[in-house]
Structure 1
Amino acid sequence: MNKFNNKLAIVTGGNSGIGYATAKELIAEGAKVIITGRRKEAIEKAAEELGAIPFVADQGKLEDIESLKTEVENQYGKVDILFINAGITGRLVSIENMTAENFDQVMNINFRGAYFTLSKLTPLLNDGASVVFLSSNVATTYKPNSSVYQASKAALNSIAKTAAAELAPRKIRVNMVSPGPTKTEIMSKAGLDEKTLEGINEWLIDTIPLKKMGTAEDVAKLVVYLSDDSVSSFMTGTEIVIDGGMLL
């Protein structure tokens, strides 16, 4: 018997990387999964590959979040698993050279969008539901040229813990998964060329005690664990760091 039979899950940013891998794991365990993404072609292609339900929505736009809420409420009713995954790194530049445009783009998706995704979808969550935020181990680091991304994830962890306290009376659990360096497309989306990416990856691997990068599947399995109340029913407000020992 699959553990998530008759469960409805939503995965934001589900057309690639960690979101895609998590949707795949949830579906394998019997869940009906709605994946969201900004690009129609990409989200429909991913949904077809996965056997998921596509919904075109930009987490950075409140009107898209409202549309998602309305559609889910009208078509499917209640939600059992919510994985708020969508996020971007933005341009990696110093505070001195930061633009308001880059600041707003990162915060609108990573923080404001995640906040209101939870806010708008909370009435649709079943009592006993699971919410997982994709954070990052950078929420507790202060590396140069990553100020906005780091701040967005630190803010995310703060609201996740407040949400855990607010939703506890309904037995809704809210947890955070904070990966370290993970093999996904997010760094190439930051505008870095192949040679630069290769150099960064080599440098990162050298800083990780386990001497390897994480995979999207590693993170996906952890999200599934936190979504399964048969094994994690006493966990809420918890951040699990999955970074190969990088923060040691």
Structure 2
Amino acid sequence: MPKFQNKIALVTGSGTGIGKAIATKFIEEGASVIILGRRKEPLEEAAKELEGRIPQGINASVRIFAGVDVADETAMNNMFDELKKNNVTIDYIINNAGVSGPVTCFPNAPLDEFKSTIGIHLTGTFWGSVQALKVMKEGGKIITISTFFTEEKPLEQRPYRFRSPYTASQGAKNRLAELMSWELTDKGIISIATNPGPVHSDRIYKTVYPKAAAEFMRVSGFEDLSPVQVDEANRELLPLLGEDESVIKKGITDAATKLANGKDVSKLTETFTNLLNKIQTIAEKVQNNTSHMIANREFLSQGQVAETVLNLCDDEIAKIINGKVIPGDRVFYPVKPHIGTTAPGVHQPDFTGKAVVFTIDATDKADAERIEFLAQHVEKNGGKVACFISQDTPSELQEYISSKFHSHIVDIKNPDEVARWLNTAKTNIGDILGVIHVTGKLPDIPKLTEVSRAEWEALTEKFISTPATVAQRALEQFVPGGANDPRLYKDAKGAIMIIGPDLPVGKKVTGIQRAQVEVFRGALRPFTTTVNQELSDVLNSKIRMFTIFPGSVTGTEPNNQRIADAFNFLVTDNALSSAEIVFCVDETR
């Protein structure tokens, strides 16, 4: 008898690629499958193929939900409500849907695309899992496809240049899978994540590697093309990769004619030909370098990933590894020690004539007192302080901070408003030495898996999107015009520090409480390491971004002096050569 006969698996993003391979494997093992995605045509084609693979004599079926984007709350709610209405019980939900997201340096990554990537990868996984509980019973399994090309372990990061929103969402997904195992134990639901690593797919060969190669070309410019012109050319040229030679030749000529803007078309055609050849060469080199970090130099096939997923759905195996992130990725990647504890000590810098801007999303009085301590530290050493306080900060905390420092209540979720206030600070109080963003603490939440969609999105905004918004606008302040011309970043200086969220404090901190905080720390760790690699290795700047995580696993009170010491270190040249850029300042391990 097929192993999964009489079972039902729901696979997101299953019209093509890995999702389709997983659905196929389930069908071949006797399960019924529910496939969904944004595009109807691939799903219909996949359904025909899947129906043809149902084993003879097995009563299995294929059901389609077309036009369902996992980031769309209404579409997901309606799908699971319909399943519940029809008394359908899901045995397995496979969180597979994903997108490449913007493949570009963080300063150039559109923030709407940043948020969209978080929405699909992280919120789509969270909300799909939560809604699936409506139609799951004890023994149900949530399997999340993630990647180790973001976060190897909480203390070992893999910066993935040009993929900052992807790394943030994937790192959080790893920790979300762990959290769900804690919070769903009483329901008898198992949660596991698996990180396949590089997989043979059109996305990686036709999208990720070529776009990464194209970004290398944009950063420096190519021949007589400026970065903006390279970017315009790349949009026309990248779709030509993999086409017949005649199609490529015509496409290059058409692109040169379209973008000539007074230039000699024949000369531009030659330049575009060289550019496309260079992009293809770099893309192949990236692929080859990655394969050389695998023992047998082979990426996994989509079928092998599917086989892994079905093994994780085995009842006995799933019980053993509930809550784990399984490393299917076989890439032997040399990992630098990006995570540290106490920052190295330095001689106290003189902040005279410099401004430090605080952007504040405080949760409680301890957050406000931390800001007071750090701002006084800056002023005591000669610097000037401006505090931009989020509209979402409780009014009593707004008043507390405003009574002590030059402050404004600001919509720090709005990138234009952040940029405007940073410009105001520079005009009124001087050159900005550093921007310190305080996320505030995670509110006391019994179970994250029981919050509303609006509450969840407020949390991802607070701990992921808003820090990214502030960081990107701070980079614009340090390097005006740098997004369009990355060459301006060379040797530019500046410092960005993200503080929080804290680990919970107390003698009886639960595993759930720690796991909840780790979801959002899990986003900021790989995000920080990725952006720093771009700032140092790609853009050759002297700008650094640190993240500070207060608190310890033992539940001790955080020490604000250690955060001040970390800022002292960040604004010195010592930070430029530091591999450690995320500091758990209250930990001793």
Matches of 1:67 and 1:229, distance apart in 2:
29
Q: 1:220 aligns with which of 295, 306, 323?
A: 306
For structure 1, the residue ranges without an aligned partner over 5 or more in a row are: none
1:227 & 1:76 partners in 2: Cα distance? 22
- Map Cα deviations across residues 110-134 of structure 1 (whole Å, 9 max, x no partner): 0111111111111211101111000
Q: Aligned letter for 1:20?
A: K
The whole-number CA distance in structure 2 between the counterparts of 1:174 and 1:240 is 11
Superposition TM-score, scaled by structure 2 size: 0.41
Q: Structure 2 residue aligned with 1:82, among 80, 93, 96?
A: 93
1:66 positional shift? 0.9
- More strand as a share of residues: 1
- CA distance in 2 between partners of 1:32 and 1:146 (Å): 35
Segment drifting more, 69-78 vs 178-187: 69-78
Q: Aligned pair 1:37/2:37, yes or no?
A: yes
Matched residues, number: 248
Partner in structure 2 of residue 174 of structure 1: 191
CA drift of 1:151 comes to: 0.8
CA offsets 1:121-163 (integer angstroms, 9 cap, x no match): 1121110111100001123111321211111101111211111
Cα deviation for residue 96 of structure 1 reads: 1.3
Structure 1 equivalent of residue 120 of structure 2: 109
Q: In structure 2, what is the Cα distance between the partners aligned to 1:143 and 1:234?
A: 31
**2 CA distance for matches of 1:229 and 1:136?**
24
Q: 1:17 to 1:76 in 2, by over 3 A?
A: farther
CA contact (8 A) 1:111 1:155 kept: yes
In structure 2, how many angstroms separate the alpha carbons of the residues matched to 1:223 and 1:184? 17
Identify which of structures 1 and 2 has the higher relative contact order when contacts are C-alpha pairs closer than 8 Å and 6+ apart: 1
The percent of aligned pairs where both chains have the same amino acid is 28
Structure 1 Cα separation of the partners of residues 333 and 181 of structure 2: 24
Deviation of 1:23 after TM superposition, in Å, equals 0.6
| TM-score for the superposition, normalised by structure 1 | 0.93
Give the conservation status (yes or no) of the 8 Å contact 2:80–2:134.
no
Instruction: Name the counterpart of 1:165.
Output: 182
Kept in 1: contact 2:92–2:140 (CA 8 A): yes
Letter in 1 for 2:190: R
For the pair shown, which has the larger CA radius of gyration, 1 or 2? 2
The answer to whether the Cα contact below 8 Å between 1:137 and 1:243 also exists between their aligned partners in 2 is yes
Deviations 1:192-225 (A, max 9, x none): 4433643432232123233111111111111101
Quick one: distance in 2 between partners of 1:69 and 1:233? 25
2:327 aligns with: 241
Answer yes or no: is the 8 Å Cα contact 1:210–1:245 preserved in 2: no
Secondary structure at the counterpart of residue 126 of structure 1? coil
In structure 2, the residue matched to 1:64 is 75
1:185 corresponds to which of 199, 202, 221: 202
- Aligned equivalent of 2:449: none
3-state SS in 2 of match to 1:145: coil
Please state if 1:120 is matched with 2:131. Answer: yes
Match of 2:290 in 1: 204
d(CA) in 2 for partners of 1:94 and 1:122? Answer: 38
Amino acid at match of 1:125: M
- Which region of structure 1 is more displaced relative to structure 2, 8-17 or 117-126? 117-126
Shift of 1:91: 1.8
Deviation at 1:64, TM superposition (A): 1.2
Question: Does the 8 Å CA contact 1:12/1:36 hold for their aligned counterparts?
Answer: yes
Deviation, structure 1 residue 45: 0.9
* In structure 1, C-alpha distance between the alignment counterparts of 2:117 and 2:37, rounded to whole Å: 16
- Partner in structure 2 of residue 55 of structure 1: 65
